[in-house]
Amino acid sequence: MIFVELFITFFIIGLFTIGGGYAMLSLIQTQVVTVHGWIDENTFTDIVAISQMTPGPIGINSATYIGYTVLEESGAPHLICVLCSLTTSLAVVLPSFIIVLALCKMFYRFSDNTVFTGIMDGLKPAVVGLIGASALLLITPENFPDWKSWILFVMAFLVSWIWKVNPIITIIAGGILGFILY
């Protein structure tokens, strides 16, 4: 039964998220922490951190890790946990796959239509808003326990926004500074 619940939950998350993994973080958090209570807030924060460090899209990485963690915490065997992580990964990707196939067909058919191009242009600010909401949800006392965390945050923001430093270098430098400071 938990497989079906997780599949439906992540399918809906994948269906109603536009803008990629960062935009879906707030929906994932609401569903798995608040609505279903499958994991707690600290575990979700750890999942976000691990998903950012792991190669691949953060939304899929989060879904995979949550699928595994939910069953692991219930005492399920390793193989069942892996199957559940595959289930949540498929569920979060499947709507996008179907939508992209449909949009490709529509795009070629309606690419000269002004209503269609207007709708596509209207989606851009909505995506920025969803990503901003995800960022605000992660500003919690667990993530920013003291002044050192805020300094690391401001430094990472400045070097990536003003000086356009490569994000990989920013992540590595943040990890090194975090290790030294904590």
Residue count of the chain = 182
Q: Residue 80: is its pLDDT beyond 90?
A: yes
User: Taking the model in full, what pTM does it have?
Assistant: 0.60
The CA distance from 182 to 180, in Å, is 6
- Tens-place pLDDT, residues 99-114: 889 888 887 888 788 8
Give the start-to-end residue ranges of the domains of the chain: 2-140, 144-182
What pLDDT band is residue 138 in, cutting at 50, 70 and 90? confident
Tokens of 99: 């939508």
pLDDT reported for residue 99: 82
- For residue 84, pLDDT over 80 is answered with yes
**How far apart are alpha carbons 77 and 169 in whole angstroms?**
38
What whole-number percentage of the chain has pLDDT above 70?
100
Distance CA 4, CA 84 (A): 10
The vertex-63 CA angle with 62 and 66, nearest 5°, equals: 80
pLDDT in tens, 16-69: 887 777 888 888 999 999 999 999 988 998 988 898 888 888 889 999 999 999
